[in-house]
Structure formats: structure tokens, C-alpha cells
Amino acid sequence: MIKVRDHGPYKVTGSFILEDADGNRYDVEGRPIVLCRCGLSENKPFCDAAHREAEFSACERAPQ
């Protein structure tokens, strides 16, 4: 499951593979992760809560 959090990161849980644009895979098996959405994290692609200091604001909704 990918949960979009208002004003924050994407939370990913369940069974998945995380792979970057170069095909490198991250060892995240079996644990939930949060992915940066604001672009300010020093630990991309993972969230480091930089969105809080920057007062990142986003709560878009996709059409149903």
C-alpha cells in the first residue's frame, strides 16, 4: 500500500521492491518506509522530515 500523507511523505507498506533510476535496489524488505515528496530530504529517496521545517504544503487528490 502507498499512503499519501497530506503535507508529508509517501508511506509504503507491504511487499515491494524499491529501485532507483539506475536500477540499484534498496534493502527495505519487510519494513515500512517513507519516501520524500518535498524534495528537501538529505536522505533521498527517504524522508528525513525536512518538509516540516520548510512548511511543505501539498494535499492534492487524484480523480476517482
Kindly report, residue by residue over 5-24, the tens digit of the pLDDT: 999 999 999 999 999 999 99
Q: How many residues does the chain have?
A: 64
Q: Which pLDDT score, from 0 to 100, does residue 64 have? A: 84
Q: List the alpha helices (DSSP H) in 8-49.
A: none
What is the rounded distance in angstroms from the CA atom of residue 7 to the CA atom of residue 50? 11
Number of domains in the chain: 1
Q: What is the CATH number of the domain that holds 62?
A: 3.40.5.90
Contacts of residue 13, Cβ cutoff 8 Å, sequence gap at least 6: 1, 3, 32
Residue span of the structural domain in which 34 resides: 1-64
Contacts of residue 54, Cβ cutoff 8 Å, sequence gap at least 6: 38, 40
Q: Which pLDDT score, from 0 to 100, does residue 62 have? A: 84
Please enumerate, as own/partner, the contacts of 24-27 that have beta carbons within 8 Å and a separation of 24 or more.
none
pTM listed for this prediction: 0.84
Kindly report, residue by residue over 31-55, the tens digit of the pLDDT: 999 999 999 999 999 999 999 999 9
